[in-house]
Structure 1
Amino acid sequence: LSGERNAWFRMVIGYWDMASSLVTSGAIDGESFRSAHGEIFATFSKIQPFLAELRAVSGEPDICKHMEEVIFGAPMAEATLARRREALRAAAKSRGSENPRTAS
């Protein structure tokens, strides 16, 4: 949880978790939120494979809990995440990136 991009990473996941908390608190309807903010699936698809490790290393077991709840409240969440992950890999490959983790 360090490095030159740590602040950017924290800002992005912090934003999406905060925005998702509006759904989990009942202030915004989940379906309406997901319909307007599909980018949350791309963001979560990048961190999901590392979420358990992120929670353990950071000592924050609830990190991204709101985002996770909003994502998995969607029908076909796993399929959507898989499609987004594959699209990000394809984009990284077309840019010549060897490591899909660096896909933006």
Structure 2
Amino acid sequence: MGTKQEDVNILLRLYEMRREETMRQARDWFTTDFNPQSTQDIYDILVSEHSPKYRMVSTYWDMACAFVNHGAIDEQLFNDVNSEHVAVYAKLQPFMAEFRAATGTPWYLKHLEELVTRMPDSEERIATLRRFMKRRLEAREQREGKKIASNTQAD
């Protein structure tokens, strides 16, 4: 493992990658529009126009977590400055075992899973993020429903 300064430099580089416009759009789609309710929903995304966005986000976080798991970045520092990887895992975890079995890819997102589940408070974090994502989705649906209703009334 490198020095703290080297770890910080790697983390800043990972942050810069997240700010790249295509990645930013993919992350926005993943957090806002992608709300899988089944493994089939993931399959459907992988054969849709959204496949590149899904793959960009999921593999980015698996790669970043691999750096940590192999000692290239200090684990505590990584987890202290990031939470999005936990949210990605929280969204995909209910379907990962079935997806891996069906696709014959037991290694799929293993680095992400290993890092997140190693966190001492992982279950609490995952549950908190799932509640947050659910509330955000409900608020969005309510807001969009009101918009649709108000647009209809204006006709």
Please give the alpha-carbon distance, in whole angstroms, between the structure 2 residues aligned to 1:4 and 1:91.
Answer: 24
Q: CA deviation at 1:85?
A: 0.5
The answer to whether residue 47 in structure 2 is matched with residue 5 in structure 1 is no
Partner of 1:24: 69
Query: 5+ residue gaps in structure 1?
Result: 98-104
Please give the alpha-carbon distance, in whole angstroms, between the structure 2 residues aligned to 1:7 and 1:60.
Answer: 19
Q: CA deviation at 1:10?
A: 1.0
Query: 5+ residue gaps in structure 2?
Result: 1-42, 143-155
TM-score of the aligned structures, taking structure 2 as reference length = 0.59
Number of residue pairs the alignment of both structures matches: 97
Task: Map 1:1-104 to 2 at 5 A.
Answer: 1=43, 2-96=47-141
Please give the alpha-carbon distance, in whole angstroms, between the structure 2 residues aligned to 1:57 and 1:12.
Answer: 21
Identity %, equivalent residues: 37
Structure number with higher relative contact order (C-alpha < 8 Å, ≥ 6 residues apart) = 1
Please give the alpha-carbon distance, in whole angstroms, between the structure 2 residues aligned to 1:59 and 1:10.
Answer: 17
TM-score of the aligned structures, taking structure 1 as reference length = 0.87
